[in-house]
Chain A
Amino acid sequence: MIELNKENFEAEVLQAEGLVFVDFWSEKCEPCMALMPEVIAFAEKNAGKAKFCKLDTAGNKRLAISQKVMGIPTLVFYKNGEKVHTFDAGMIDSGGIAAVQKKLDELV
């Protein structure tokens, strides 16, 4: 997965064509750490269907807030630089990665 930060976010996500997936996370967030192995497996399994990225919100707080993310974990799909779907922590907890997979299949 591509590590995003202030320097590359614009190019990798907002200017990117096609589908981009971003996992907003941070080390202090236990549910994020619990989710991470699943997200990595999800990215590997779907390689080629989208560009898979993650953004550590510690140190990139302003960037996250500019994307209207003020709580984590949050998973966002972008299409041609536009946000098309957001999974908040509640949706992730109830639907699991299976719901994210379903959305990806819909979007590709």
Chain B
Amino acid sequence: MVYDILIVGAGPGGLTAGMYGSRAKLSTAIIEKGKAGGQAATTTEMENYPGFFRETTGPGVMGEFEAHAKQFGTVFLKGNVTEVSLEGEVKSVTTSAGETYQARAIILAPGAEPRTIGVPGEGKLRGKGVSYCATCDADFFEELDVVVIGSGDAAIEEAMYLTKFVESVTIVVIHDEGILDCNKRSAQKAFENSKFKWVWNSTVEEIQGDEMVEGVLVKNIRTGEKRVLEVNGVFVFIGAQPKTDFLKGKITLDEWGYIPTSEKMETNIAGVYAVGDARAKYLRQVVTAAADGAIAACAAEKFLEGHVEGRLTREDIENLTKGAK
């Protein structure tokens, strides 16, 4: 069959697009490689989705998003999309298992994944002390010392969570003493927490250890001085990168791999939309992913009715990518 709308990714962006599409009586399917919910389902601490503040968790809210889409009839397909064919009236996506699905409009909602630091030892020691998920792995580090790399909102929040388990958390910050990338409220809480130690003006050069993490080599970027911190764990929270590798060469991406779109979530290809964290935009949160999803589904509906061209022009893209820098 040819769906009206096919959505790639069942995070908050994709699930909302699914709900809106189905509710508009368009045949709508979402294809997801893992479980519905995306990144938002990997964190228990989610306190800023409006209306959900009493004992809510990421998986809890995402479960409701999924149920909501299902209730209006969204079809859930399973598969890792590795190939896309986006030009023309009928578009298709193909999974790693070789299954192909067709639709007249596509909404790309593949989200993002944790950015790696790219230093020696990081890849080799993943799952052996190097982690990108505090809720997954905190237990292993009970009464041990760990390092957290990064100082943004996610880094400080996850570091707070780690203090419930570990002996000490050393935060390696690239900035001058006292400067964090997170909001002031979190920064204040962090400075008051006695389990935190701080290493300022520094970057991690190497993660050391044969079979398990034994230490990290940090370098003071002011003095050039290097030293080893002896720790058993390294938690990396330095932001995200869009999961758009499978779209390279098929659709316009900016230099970081994000998908530029118009205000209507249109990409450079007619009938192909992008929403959520994978899109070039200012704020990457559940509430903005959901908003993107609603807009894309409505724009796709208009496109399917044949009223609009439904794509960005080259000029639009130039303006947008300029704006992003």
Contacts and interface: CB of A to CB of B under 8 A. Distances in A.
A71 B130 CA distance: 8
Given A29-B136, A96-B80, A71 B129 contact: yes
Interface stretch (A5-13, A15-23, A44-52, A58-66): A58-66
B137 A70 contact: yes
Nearest to B96: A98
Nearest to B58: A30
Nearest to A37: B35
Contact of A28 (B41, B96, B131, B136): B136
A34 interface: yes
B139 interface: yes
A55 to B, nearest CB: 13
Contacts of A34: 34-35, 37, 41
A66 to B, nearest CB: 11
A71 B34 contact: no
Contacts, number: 88
Interface residues of A, number: 29
Interface in B109-144: 113, 123, 126-133, 135-137, 139-142
B301 to A, nearest CB: 30
A31 B133 contact: yes
A28 B35 contact: no
Chain B interface residue count: which class? 20 to 34
User: Which of B123, B137, B232, B233: most chain A Cβ within 10 A?
Assistant: B137
B140 A64 contact: yes
B276 interface: no
Given A89-B127, A89-B133, A96-B33, A71 B42 contact: no
Contacts of B129: 70-71
Contacts of A107: none
B127 A69 contact: yes
A29 B127 CA distance: 13
B190 interface: no
A31 B127 contact: no
Contact of B136 (A37, A61, A89, A96): A89
A61 B144 CA distance: 13
Interface of A: 26, 28-35, 37, 57-58, 61, 64-65, 68-74, 86, 88-90, 93, 96, 98
Q: Which 4 A-B pairs have the closest CB atoms?
A: A34-B35, A88-B127, A71-B127, A29-B136
16 contacts: A26-B139, A28-B136, A30-B35, A30-B42, A34-B34, A34-B41, A57-B140, A68-B128, A68-B211, A69-B128, A70-B127, A70-B137, A70-B141, A71-B126, A88-B126, A89-B133
Interface of B: 33-35, 37, 41-42, 58-59, 80, 96-97, 113, 123, 126-133, 135-137, 139-142, 211-213, 232-233
Given A35-B35, A88-B127, A90-B127, 16 more contacts: A26-B136, A29-B137, A30-B42, A30-B59, A30-B136, A34-B41, A37-B35, A70-B129, A70-B232, A70-B233, A71-B130, A72-B137, A74-B127, A88-B128, A98-B80, A98-B96
